[in-house]
Structure 1
Amino acid sequence: LHDGSTIRLETISAEHDPGDAMAALTALHNAETGGKHVTGLLYFDASKPSLAEDLALVDEPLVDVPNEVLRPDKASLDALNAEFLS
Protein backbone atom coordinates (compact mmCIF):
# COMPACT_ATOMS: atom_id res chain seq x y z
CA LEU A 1 0.00 0.00 0.00
CA HIS A 2 1.01 3.65 -0.25
CA ASP A 3 2.24 3.69 3.34
CA GLY A 4 4.39 0.58 2.97
CA SER A 5 1.97 -1.78 4.69
CA THR A 6 0.71 -4.86 2.90
CA ILE A 7 -2.64 -6.49 2.49
CA ARG A 8 -3.06 -10.11 1.53
CA LEU A 9 -6.08 -11.06 -0.54
CA GLU A 10 -7.03 -14.69 -0.76
CA THR A 11 -9.65 -16.11 -3.07
CA ILE A 12 -12.32 -18.36 -1.64
CA SER A 13 -11.50 -22.06 -1.99
CA ALA A 14 -12.67 -24.00 -5.05
CA GLU A 15 -14.72 -26.25 -2.76
CA HIS A 16 -16.79 -23.30 -1.50
CA ASP A 17 -20.51 -23.53 -2.41
CA PRO A 18 -21.83 -20.02 -3.21
CA GLY A 19 -25.39 -21.32 -2.77
CA ASP A 20 -24.78 -22.06 0.92
CA ALA A 21 -25.38 -18.98 3.09
CA MET A 22 -23.87 -20.60 6.19
CA ALA A 23 -20.70 -21.48 4.27
CA ALA A 24 -20.40 -17.83 3.23
CA LEU A 25 -20.76 -16.66 6.83
CA THR A 26 -18.25 -19.28 7.96
CA ALA A 27 -15.75 -18.15 5.31
CA LEU A 28 -16.14 -14.54 6.44
CA HIS A 29 -15.73 -15.52 10.09
CA ASN A 30 -12.65 -17.64 9.36
CA ALA A 31 -11.09 -14.82 7.36
CA GLU A 32 -11.78 -12.32 10.13
CA THR A 33 -10.29 -14.52 12.83
CA GLY A 34 -7.31 -15.35 10.58
CA GLY A 35 -6.65 -11.72 9.72
CA LYS A 36 -7.33 -12.30 6.04
CA HIS A 37 -9.56 -10.74 3.41
CA VAL A 38 -11.41 -13.18 1.17
CA THR A 39 -12.35 -12.33 -2.39
CA GLY A 40 -14.63 -14.04 -4.85
CA LEU A 41 -18.28 -14.98 -4.99
CA LEU A 42 -19.22 -15.76 -1.41
CA TYR A 43 -22.99 -16.07 -1.71
CA PHE A 44 -25.50 -16.16 -4.54
CA ASP A 45 -29.24 -16.79 -4.14
CA ALA A 46 -30.41 -18.15 -7.50
CA SER A 47 -34.06 -17.91 -6.45
CA LYS A 48 -33.87 -14.10 -6.34
CA PRO A 49 -34.43 -12.12 -9.55
CA SER A 50 -31.49 -10.38 -11.15
CA LEU A 51 -31.25 -6.61 -10.82
CA ALA A 52 -32.46 -6.18 -14.41
CA GLU A 53 -35.47 -8.43 -13.72
CA ASP A 54 -36.21 -6.74 -10.40
CA LEU A 55 -36.20 -3.30 -12.03
CA ALA A 56 -38.21 -4.60 -15.01
CA LEU A 57 -35.64 -3.25 -17.44
CA VAL A 58 -36.26 -3.69 -21.13
CA ASP A 59 -33.81 -5.44 -23.42
CA GLU A 60 -33.60 -2.41 -25.71
CA PRO A 61 -31.14 0.30 -24.61
CA LEU A 62 -32.81 3.62 -23.79
CA VAL A 63 -30.76 5.35 -26.47
CA ASP A 64 -32.57 3.21 -29.07
CA VAL A 65 -36.10 3.79 -27.72
CA PRO A 66 -37.92 6.45 -29.74
CA ASN A 67 -39.07 9.66 -28.05
CA GLU A 68 -42.73 8.78 -28.71
CA VAL A 69 -42.34 5.82 -26.34
CA LEU A 70 -40.23 7.59 -23.71
CA ARG A 71 -42.19 10.84 -23.49
CA PRO A 72 -45.81 10.91 -22.33
CA ASP A 73 -48.24 13.04 -24.31
CA LYS A 74 -49.34 16.37 -22.81
CA ALA A 75 -52.65 15.04 -21.50
CA SER A 76 -50.98 12.13 -19.69
CA LEU A 77 -48.31 14.38 -18.22
CA ASP A 78 -50.91 16.93 -17.07
CA ALA A 79 -52.94 14.15 -15.41
CA LEU A 80 -49.84 12.82 -13.64
CA ASN A 81 -48.83 16.27 -12.43
CA ALA A 82 -52.37 16.92 -11.21
CA GLU A 83 -52.11 13.85 -8.94
CA PHE A 84 -49.07 15.35 -7.25
CA LEU A 85 -50.67 18.76 -6.82
CA SER A 86 -53.79 17.45 -5.10
Structure 2
Amino acid sequence: WGAWAAEAAALAADSPRWPELWREARWAQRALFLGQLDDLGPLAFVKHAPSMFSHQLTQYYGSCAVPGGGIFVLDRPGASWAARELTA
Protein backbone atom coordinates (compact mmCIF):
# COMPACT_ATOMS: atom_id res chain seq x y z
CA TRP A 1 0.00 0.00 0.00
CA GLY A 2 2.87 2.31 0.77
CA ALA A 3 4.26 2.06 -2.76
CA TRP A 4 0.88 2.98 -4.26
CA ALA A 5 0.48 5.89 -1.85
CA ALA A 6 3.96 7.20 -2.66
CA GLU A 7 3.33 6.92 -6.39
CA ALA A 8 -0.07 8.60 -6.08
CA ALA A 9 1.47 11.49 -4.13
CA ALA A 10 4.03 12.02 -6.90
CA LEU A 11 1.58 11.87 -9.83
CA ALA A 12 0.18 14.95 -11.50
CA ALA A 13 -3.61 15.28 -11.41
CA ASP A 14 -3.89 14.74 -15.18
CA SER A 15 -1.44 11.81 -15.39
CA PRO A 16 -2.53 8.92 -17.64
CA ARG A 17 -1.24 6.52 -14.95
CA TRP A 18 -4.21 7.22 -12.60
CA PRO A 19 -6.67 4.68 -14.12
CA GLU A 20 -4.08 1.90 -14.04
CA LEU A 21 -3.04 2.75 -10.49
CA TRP A 22 -6.70 2.72 -9.40
CA ARG A 23 -7.23 -0.71 -11.03
CA GLU A 24 -4.14 -2.14 -9.31
CA ALA A 25 -5.32 -0.94 -5.91
CA ARG A 26 -8.87 -2.26 -6.50
CA TRP A 27 -7.58 -5.70 -7.55
CA ALA A 28 -5.39 -5.87 -4.45
CA GLN A 29 -8.41 -4.92 -2.32
CA ARG A 30 -10.53 -7.61 -3.99
CA ALA A 31 -7.80 -10.21 -3.44
CA LEU A 32 -7.63 -9.25 0.23
CA PHE A 33 -11.36 -9.59 0.82
CA LEU A 34 -11.71 -12.74 -1.27
CA GLY A 35 -9.19 -14.47 0.98
CA GLN A 36 -6.41 -14.76 -1.57
CA LEU A 37 -4.01 -13.06 0.82
CA ASP A 38 -4.75 -15.31 3.79
CA ASP A 39 -1.12 -15.23 4.92
CA LEU A 40 -1.68 -11.57 5.76
CA GLY A 41 -2.04 -12.12 9.51
CA PRO A 42 -4.48 -10.50 11.96
CA LEU A 43 -6.77 -7.80 10.56
CA ALA A 44 -8.35 -5.17 12.83
CA PHE A 45 -11.65 -3.49 11.93
CA VAL A 46 -14.25 -1.21 13.48
CA LYS A 47 -17.88 -2.27 13.70
CA HIS A 48 -20.32 0.63 14.00
CA ALA A 49 -23.56 0.55 15.96
CA PRO A 50 -26.72 1.36 13.99
CA SER A 51 -27.30 5.08 14.21
CA MET A 52 -30.43 7.07 14.92
CA PHE A 53 -31.18 10.77 15.07
CA SER A 54 -30.02 12.22 18.32
CA HIS A 55 -30.15 15.76 19.65
CA GLN A 56 -27.41 17.02 21.97
CA LEU A 57 -29.78 16.88 24.94
CA THR A 58 -30.68 13.23 24.31
CA GLN A 59 -26.98 12.41 24.03
CA TYR A 60 -26.43 13.95 27.45
CA TYR A 61 -29.15 11.82 29.03
CA GLY A 62 -28.31 8.75 26.93
CA SER A 63 -31.89 8.13 25.84
CA CYS A 64 -30.82 7.53 22.22
CA ALA A 65 -27.79 5.39 23.06
CA VAL A 66 -27.66 2.29 20.88
CA PRO A 67 -25.64 -0.75 21.97
CA GLY A 68 -23.19 -2.41 19.64
CA GLY A 69 -20.08 -1.61 17.71
CA GLY A 70 -16.51 -1.94 18.87
CA ILE A 71 -13.04 -2.85 17.65
CA PHE A 72 -12.56 -6.42 16.48
CA VAL A 73 -9.73 -8.59 15.12
CA LEU A 74 -9.90 -11.37 12.56
CA ASP A 75 -7.01 -13.62 13.59
CA ARG A 76 -7.07 -15.70 10.39
CA PRO A 77 -8.61 -13.58 7.60
CA GLY A 78 -9.56 -15.68 4.62
CA ALA A 79 -9.56 -18.90 6.65
CA SER A 80 -12.04 -18.07 9.42
CA TRP A 81 -14.70 -15.43 10.10
CA ALA A 82 -14.21 -15.81 13.87
CA ALA A 83 -13.56 -12.36 15.33
CA ARG A 84 -12.54 -11.37 18.81
CA GLU A 85 -13.56 -8.09 20.38
CA LEU A 86 -10.86 -5.79 21.74
CA THR A 87 -13.22 -3.34 23.45
CA ALA A 88 -15.14 -5.79 25.64
TM-score bucket (shorter structure): under 0.3
Per the normalisation by structure 1, the TM-score is: 0.21
Larger Rg, first or second structure (1 or 2): 1
Relative to its length, the structure with more helix (as a share) is: 1
Higher strand share: 2
